[in-house]
């Protein structure tokens, strides 16, 4: 536990696996909850720190260096240091919940270590492509980006989690192909145990 006043939940996993839907539902159900989305920390398109994929003439948005993790870490720590007199709390003994949402959340050791509960939503390649191909991104995916970058990076990240024995035993893997309601009910029941 980070402190008596905060419980931190980490929601990570494959692109289009239902992370944001789950996070939004959890925020609705959990009073005194705050959400921080890793997606809000993407570097600007013209940032020189990006890794370019020459054969696609496109940036690699699927790696941790495409995100300003220093800023995200700083914002998370700042929030956790706030007292319970903040806007979201009505009584000083209320437990507050910080929900962290991000496709590469557990690649950041500091953030991963802060999480009292870690969830990782999985999909098969076919399911992932079915959902991803109709999504609009800014900048938009270029032809071949899913095959060459999105899916291989996801597999690489998942394999790193599986190899890290200590981290792996603290992650609850969730089948993201299940209905949004099923996923929510499973995760919410687990979180309620933590809050009781």
How does pLDDT run across 115-147, given as a tens digit for each residue? 999 999 999 999 999 999 989 988 999 999 999
How does pLDDT run across 28-85, given as a tens digit for each residue? 999 899 999 999 999 999 999 999 999 999 999 999 999 999 999 999 999 998 754 4
**Predicted pLDDT of residue 138:** 87
Candidates 39, 47, 70, 94; catalytic one: 39
- Enter the pTM of the model: 0.90
Task: Please compute, for residue 166, the number of CA atoms within 13 A of its CA located in the half-sphere on the CB side.
Answer: 3
Sketch the domain layout of the chain as residue ranges: 6-195
Nearest residue to 64 via CA among 110, 24, 98, 31: 110
- CA terminus-to-terminus distance, the chain: 14
**Predicted pLDDT of residue 95:** 86
- Is 70 one of the annotated active-site residues of the chain? no
**Predicted pLDDT of residue 106:** 96
CATH assignment of 6-195?
3.40.50.300
Is pLDDT of 162 > 50?
yes
């Amino acid at each position: 536990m980070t402190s008596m006043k905060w419980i931190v939940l980490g929601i990570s996993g494959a692109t289009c696996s239902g992370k944001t839907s789950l996070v939004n539902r959890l925020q609705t159900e959990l009073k005194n909850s705050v959400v921080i989305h890793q997606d809000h920390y993407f570097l600007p398109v013209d940032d020189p720190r990006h890794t370019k994929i020459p054969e696609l003439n496109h940036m690699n948005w699927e790696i941790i260096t495409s995100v300003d993790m220093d800023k995200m870490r700083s914002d998370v720590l700042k929030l956790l240091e706030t007292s319970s007199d903040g806007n979201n709390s009505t009584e000083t003994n209320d437990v507050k919940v910080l929900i962290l949402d991000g496709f590469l959340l557990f690649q950041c050791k500091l953030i991963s270590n802060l999480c009292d509960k870690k969830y990782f939503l999985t999909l098969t390649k076919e399911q992932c492509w079915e959902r991803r191909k109709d999504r609009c991104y800014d900048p938009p995916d270029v032809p071949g980006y899913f095959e060459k970058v999105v899916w291989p990076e996801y597999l690489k990240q998942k394999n790193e989690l599986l190899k890290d024995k200590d981290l792996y035993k603290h992650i609850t893997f969730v089948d993201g192909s299940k209905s949004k309601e099923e996923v929510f009910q499973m995760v919410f029941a687990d979180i309620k145990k933590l809050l009781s």
